[in-house]
Amino acid sequence: MRQYQYHLKEERKTEKIFCNQCGKEIIVKNEMPQEDILTVEKRWGYFSEKDNEVHRFDLCESCYDKLIAQFVIPVEKENG
């Protein structure tokens, strides 16, 4: 979940990021999150029941780990 600060020329800067699952604030300095997070943005299409809705959320790493621990098929991992 992101809170934005609006400036001139309709430019928006990410001011605050919160993990949607646990509510933890992710520190942002110079527009860079200071820890790695998962950001999901999905526009649901015609064949969904959410016709054209855009859903967005952010998860901190530990909430991401809890989420993928529930998967029946593990995530694919690659190094490098």
Query: Rule CB under 5 A: is residue 20 a binding residue for Zn ion?
Result: no
- Amino acid letter at 48? S
The gap between the terminal CA atoms of the chain, to the nearest Å, is 29
Q: Which is nearer to Zn ion, 17 or 63 (CB)?
A: 63
Helix (H, G, I), strand (E, B) or coil at 5: strand
Helix (H) or strand (E) holding 65: helix 61-69
Q: Minimal distance in Å, beta carbon 69 to Zn ion?
A: 14
Binders in 21-60 for Zn ion, by CB under 5 A: 21-22, 24, 60
List residues near Zn ion by CB under 5 A.
Answer: 19, 21-22, 24, 60, 63
